[in-house]
Each structure stands twice: as C-alpha cells, then as structure tokens.
Amino acid sequence: MPIKKICCIGAGYVGGPTCSVIALKCPDITVTVVDLSQQRIDQWNSDKLPIYEPGLDDVVRQCRGVNLFFSTDINTAIREADLIFISVNTPTKTFGNGKGRAADLKYVEGAARMIAEVADSSKIVVEKSTVPVRAAESISNILTANTFNKPNVKFQILSNPEFLAEGTAINDLLFADRVLIGGEDSEEGQAAIEELCQVYERWLPRKNILTTNTWSSELSKLAANAFLASRISSINSLSAVCEATGADVSEVARAVGLDSRIGPKFLQASIGFGGSCFQKDILNLVYICEGLNLPEVATYWQQVIDMNEYQKSRFSAKVIESLFNTVTDKRITLLGFAFKKDTGDTRESPAIHVAKTLLDEGAQLSIYDPKVEHSQILDDLTHPYVTDEPEQVKKSITIHSDPYEATAGTHAIVICTEWDEFISYDYERIYEGMMKPAYVFDGRKILDHKNLQKIGFIVQTIGKRLVRNSPNRVWGSKVQA
C-alpha cells in the first residue's frame, strides 16, 4: 500500500525541515511532526520558527495546515501513521560506559517504546536521528520485545541518515546528492525500502537513491562526516605551518584543491569545525573502533578531534598574546556566535571555546550574532561545562543587537562566524570608535585584510603570517594597552 500518512517524532533541526520538504513535494501525504515540548510545537505553528534555515519559512507557510501539521498529540500521530521517522536528539554520553564518545540513545529508546505501546497496526519505522549507531538494531529489539501481545502488528526498521548541512538544509533536501536507505535483506525489508524510495522519488531521480543493508547505511553517515571533518583538520594543521613559515594557507588550499582527486570543498582554514554532527560522529566512530579492538583506527580518528581542539586553543592564545599577553578588564568583541553562517545553532561552536578562554583571562566580552538568540548565548556561556561561576560570567558579557554598538570602545574584534554581513560593515566607522591600537582577529578569513590595515587596524588571521602596520601610522588619541 502506498504511504498516505507520515509521523515524525522530533521537531528539531532534522525532523522539521525534512518533513516540511516531504509535505511540499508530496501533497497527497499527510505529514505530522510531533514533539513532547509544547513550546517548540508552538514555535513551529507561529510566524517565528524555532530554527533559522534559509527557505524554510516559505516551505512551512505553503504546507502548514494543508498537509503539514505540528502537534504534541504523539499517540494519535503514531496510531494513524503508515511510516514513522524517529528524529530525536542523540547526544554524546556524559557519564557511564562510553562517556565522551558513545552516543546516548535514551531518546531513541523512549521513542521506540512509545511506538510499541501505542501502535495498533503494522508500521515502517525509520531511524533518522543525527547520530545513528546501531540505532536501527536497538529500535528493532525494543519493538519486538514490547509487542509480543500484538501478533498482528509488525514493524520494518529502516535506516535513512540525513546529510544536511545547516544553512543549506532546504537546498540539500530539494537537490540531494544522494538519499541513503538501509534495511533488512528480506522480502519484507526490501518492500519497506521500496515504499520509502517511492516517497523520495516524487522529486529526486532514482539514481540518487542508494539502498544498502542497515549497518552500511548507518556507518556511511559516520564515515561521511568523519571524512569531511578530517579535511578541515588537515588544512587547519597546515595553517600553523603557514604562519610559521610565511606561506599563505589560502594559496596552499587553492593549489591542493585544484587536484581533481581532492577538490576545493572543506579546505577553508578557520578556528575549527563545530555543529551537532562532526564531533559527535567522529567520537562515536572512535568508540566503535575501540569496541572492535581496533586501537590504531580509533587513534587515527581521535587525532582529527584533537587537531580541532588545538586549532581553537591556538587561535584563542594568539588573541591573548597579541594583546600584550593580558586581556584582564579589556573589552573584546566577538562577532558571530553560531558555529557557522546561515544558522542560529551554537552546538560545539568554536565561539564558545574562544569566549571561555577570554573570560577565564578576565576579559569583558561584547557579543553580536544576527541570528542566535541572546538567551542561547547566555545559556551556553553559563553552562556548568563552561564555568563554575555563572554569575561572574553574566557580569562580564554584554550581548548586543547592533554590531556598531558591540564594537564601540572595544580593544579588539574577533570574527568567530563567517556571516556575509560582517564583510560589508563600515570599518572606518568601527575603527574610529575603538580603543587604539585596534585589533581584528579574523578567525574565518572573510575580511579584506589589506583594506583593514590601510584604515589602521592590526590584523591577525588564520594561516598567514602577520604583516605589521607601518610604524609611521598615527593611531589617534585613544591609546591604551
């Protein structure tokens, strides 16, 4: 039977956009996204969605109330659905066996138990959480163990990992390089795979839909993110060499990227990678390798994480060193707090590491980001993992809604996110309002450094040796160390 009703458990970064696009492209399918959080569902039903993603507002407006619904009535949605996506959070474990590496599947387990309790007819259950680690197997075991008294209820478990990049998620869904679907190598399993294939075939060519066994599908998700993250860590490792030798990492990346075997993508040196996927997925891959008694493989992938931490620490140390080895009571402006542009997501954002380092050194921080909520920034910087003195942090940070206000009277500007708007600011105006000497630390290599130096800034960036301003430069009247 063709799929007529879809339920998605989890109204987050994956479930919301994915199901919105499915609703857009499959008008004959009713799509219901459910979540335990009434606040989150209310946001999905309002004019201001809980996540910022270019193009998402338009898609939701077209479909919401027609064949796309957001609800907290999880039981009804499960009961009526032909296919159920599980798209809940799978954070890295913070305690117990696998602490710091393994994925915590408690929310996946909770969703599976809910399905087992409520379902009164056969379903296709699709694991689509951000970090799949044998999650399909776990779901299958839970459903089987909890439906022994429902002989007419059968489940087929599929793995359908997402390959979305925040900031381009809608485009990634509409024009996907590939959709990956894994399932059992049985008649029933292959039939379930075909059902989901037919959903995606409404807007994607069949050649872009890959079918595999379940474990291959799940491991491919981890592998893809690990490969992408390793490229970032590789170019970031060379950025340190460039700064020490006088080479320019942008020129090195361009030369390397022209090799057709390598290509130019993910060779932009920066503070380091962040977001919900790369670190979690690589740590999870390390944990799997350790469990399979493959210590050399685990060590190899752990080094990608270690290099990312080194890059963040190296950049933060450069800021302090350049400011006469002390930032105590100095005002420093962070431009950007999201882990990358075109998203309001701050998970594993390098900006948190930079902010923590500067706060620990006694700095006063002014922070501006065009899309991150002020409350989110405050929550991140007062989290127990960041500080033991949240009240002191609150006294040391000011969160702004205007970039010119954020930079007024500051000693230095630190670019933490590559927002396009940062490029077009009036830096002469900003320079006039700053303490002198005025510093810019471009952690994303997006600004016109030569022009900034002409204005009078001292500029530091990633992967390029600092060229000092002319000693004849007149700094003006506001000179302060």
Q: Is the confidence at residue 205, as pLDDT, over 50?
A: yes
Report which of residues 481 and 139 the model is more confident about.
139
Cβ within 8 Å of residue 171, ≥6 positions away: 55
SS3 363: coil
Whole-number Å distance between alpha carbons of 14 and 162: 7
Q: Find the range with the poorest average confidence among 86-90, 379-383, 417-421.
A: 86-90
Question: Helix (H, G, I), strand (E, B), or coil: what is residue 124?
Answer: strand
Q: What is the pLDDT of residues 54-69, one digit of tens each?
A: 999 999 999 999 999 9
The answer to whether residues 37 and 7 touch, using CB atoms and an 8 Å cutoff, is no
* Beta carbons of 105 and 135 less than 8 angstroms apart: yes
Residue partners of 127: CB distance under 8 A and separation at least 6 = 86, 108, 135, 136, 139, 157, 158, 159, 160, 218
More confident residue, 90 or 359: 359
Number of Cβ within a 10 Å radius of residue 414: 26
What is the Cα–Cα distance from 135 to 105, expressed in whole angstroms?
7
Could you give the 3-state DSSP secondary structure of residue 416? coil
What is the distance between the alpha carbons of residues 354 and 334, in angstroms, rounded to a whole number?
9
pLDDT of 311 above 50: yes
Range with top average pLDDT, 36-40, 94-98, 143-147, 470-474: 36-40
Question: pLDDT tens across 249-273, in order?
Answer: 999 999 999 999 999 999 999 999 9
Mean of pLDDT values over 82-87? 97
Residues 308/275, Cβ–Cβ less than 8 Å: no
> Cβ–Cβ contacts within 10 Å for residue 248, how many?
17
Task: Provide the annotated binding site.
Answer: 10-15, 35, 40, 88-92, 129-130, 166, 277-280, 347
- The mean pLDDT of 141-164, rounded to a whole number, is 90
Q: Which residue has the tokens 């399979």?
A: 292
| Token pair recorded at residue 260 | 């057709």
Angle, CA of 345, 347 and 348, to the nearest 5°: 135
Percent of the chain whose predicted confidence (pLDDT) is above 70: 96
User: Please, are residues 96 and 52 in contact by the beta-carbon 8 Å criterion?
Assistant: no
Region of 131 (left: φ > 0; alpha: ψ -120 to 50; beta: rest) is beta
Residue carrying the six token digits 């000011």: 398
**Segment among 331-335, 419-423, 462-466 with least mean pLDDT:** 462-466
Q: Which of 7, 19, 26, 277 is catalytic?
A: 277
What's this model's pTM, rounded to 2 decimal places?
A: 0.85
- Reduced to 3 states (helix: H, G, I; strand: E, B; else coil), residue 84 is strand
Q: Which of 111-120, 283-292, 313-322, 341-350 has the lowest mean pLDDT?
A: 283-292
The per-residue pLDDT for 130 is 65
Q: Which domains does the chain have, with CATH numbers?
A: 5-204 (3.40.50.720), 213-480 (3.40.50.720)
Please state the rounded mean pLDDT for residues 303-320.
Answer: 96
Least confident of 11-15, 136-140, 314-318, 408-412: 136-140
* Helix H or strand E segment including 380: helix 374-381
Average pLDDT of 88-93? Answer: 87
* pLDDT (average), residues 27-52: 97
Confidence of residue 475 (pLDDT cuts 50, 70, 90): very low
What pLDDT score does 97 carry?
85
- Give the pLDDT of residue 481: 38
CB of 113 closer than 8 Å to CB of 38: no
Amino acid occupying residue 140 = S
Residue 474 pLDDT > 80: no
List, as residue ranges, the binding site for NAD(+).
Answer: 10-15, 35, 40, 88-92, 129-130, 166, 277-280, 347
Higher pLDDT, 472 or 168: 168
E strands in 206-314: 209-213
Beta-carbon contacts of 4 under 8 Å, excluding residues fewer than 6 positions away, are 28, 29, 30, 82
Average of per-residue pLDDT across 310-317:
96
- Tell me whether residue 277 is one of the annotated catalytic residues: yes
| Range 370-392 average pLDDT | 96
Residue 413: pLDDT over 80:
yes
pLDDT, residue 133, reads 61
The least confident of 43-47, 95-99, 204-208 is 95-99
Using the predicted structure, report yes or no on whether residue 480 has a pLDDT greater than 80.
no
Q: 469: pLDDT confidence band, cut at 50, 70 and 90?
A: low
